[in-house]
Amino acid sequence: MDLHIFLAVLLAALLHASWNLLVKLDLDRFLALLLISCVMGLMGIAMLIAFPWPSLASAPYFITSGLLHVGYNMFLARSYRTGDLSQVYPIARGTAPLITFIAAWALAGETVGGIGALGILLLVGGIWLTARPGHQSIRLDGMTLFFALGTSGFIAAYTIVDGFGARLSGSASAYAGMLFVLDAVFMIIVALLTRGPAAFRQILPSWKSGTAGAALSAGAYWIVIWAMSLAPIAAVAALRETSILFVMLMSAVFLKEKVTGFRLMGAVLIVLGAVALRMS
């Protein structure tokens, strides 16, 4: 993987970890994600004005991805309602790179070299080690685990869809902008059906943190979509999950969540996996 793509995806990982911390700290989880999606939709409109529109060939992909992102948001919000950030986040992100790797190979014959494959496996193993419970205060009931794993499935699905769609779009930036707009539209529909117009009155007082979260989230996934248009989808998908290192640090500092020996071992594997992907 080229150095500039490698560094850009690491930046995306930092941005992604930061907005997940914001969702966990401040707001009702669903309302936080709704607010972030709405602001990202406005950013998407600006992006569509600034860049040429994506080609029609990519339309089925960004529509499908928009729907998948709604499922991801719903499952993520439910996971965070009953689970700790440092527990839910690794599980939600941990299986997705492996699923993405298999799907990219099965659906498009996309492969990575031996070192790249080793890097993906090291990253997945490290992420799962960080998810290992090591303290009685860590809550991981069956429903939380179900929704965290379901979130992982949505991540893998929209990653594959967006990787292929961005390559067909003619402009990865325009594709990202269209996706952000559709994500906002679909989330607004879900909010109206499940919470009614009152949901939008509830999110207004938190517009500052919502704008910050949207900027972080949009920046993170914009970079990832761009990277997947240039590098193997599976490699990008795995490397962005180095965000778990940032989550571990942030959850320990800001949420006072315990970092166990297993999680430190997992962090080492994640770093080794990132190094292997850089060398591939």
Tens-digit pLDDT profile for residues 58-106: 999 999 999 999 999 888 888 877 776 667 767 777 777 778 887 887 7
Residues 122/272, Cβ–Cβ less than 8 Å:
yes
Q: Count the Cβ atoms, other than its own, within 10 Å of residue 104.
A: 24
In whole angstroms, give the CA distance from residue 105 to residue 266: 26
Give residue 275's pLDDT band: very low, low, confident or very high (50, 70, 90). Answer: confident
Q: How much of the chain, in percent, has pLDDT values that exceed 90?
A: 32
**Tell me, what's the pLDDT at 86?**
63
Backbone Cα Rg of the chain = 18
In whole angstroms, give the CA distance from residue 226 to residue 140: 35
In whole angstroms, give the CA distance from residue 80 to residue 256: 16
Tens-digit pLDDT profile for residues 189-226: 999 999 999 989 888 887 787 788 888 889 999 999 99
**Tell me, what's the pLDDT at 137?**
47
Give residue 107's pLDDT band: very low, low, confident or very high (50, 70, 90). Answer: confident
In whole angstroms, give the CA distance from residue 244 to residue 273: 13
In whole angstroms, give the CA distance from residue 240 to residue 162: 15
Number of independent structural domains in the chain:
1
Tens-digit pLDDT profile for residues 118-162: 888 888 788 777 766 554 444 566 787 888 888 889 998 999 999
**Tell me, what's the pLDDT at 24?**
55
In whole angstroms, give the CA distance from residue 142 to residue 263: 21
**Tell me, what's the pLDDT at 40?**
93
Domain that holds residue 94: 3-279
In whole angstroms, give the CA distance from residue 66 to residue 74: 13
Query: In the structure encoding, which two tokens stand for residue 135, read together?
Result: 């303290």
DSSP 26-92: HS-HHHHHHHHHHHHHHHHHHHHHHSPPPPGGGHHHHHHHHHHHHHHHHHHHHHHHHS-HHHHHHHH
- Determine which of 29-38, 193-202, 253-262 has the lowest per-residue pLDDT on average: 253-262
Q: Distance between alpha carbon 245 and the CA centroid of its chain, in Å?
A: 14
DSSP 104-148: HHHHH-----HHHHHHHHHHHHHHHHHTS--STT----HHHHHHH
In whole angstroms, give the CA distance from residue 206 to residue 214: 12
| Residue 104 CB contacts under 8 Å (≥ 6 apart), including other chains | 110, 160, 163, 232, 233, 234
Residues 32/191, Cβ–Cβ less than 8 Å:
no
214 or 255: which leads in pLDDT:
214
75 or 268: which leads in pLDDT:
75
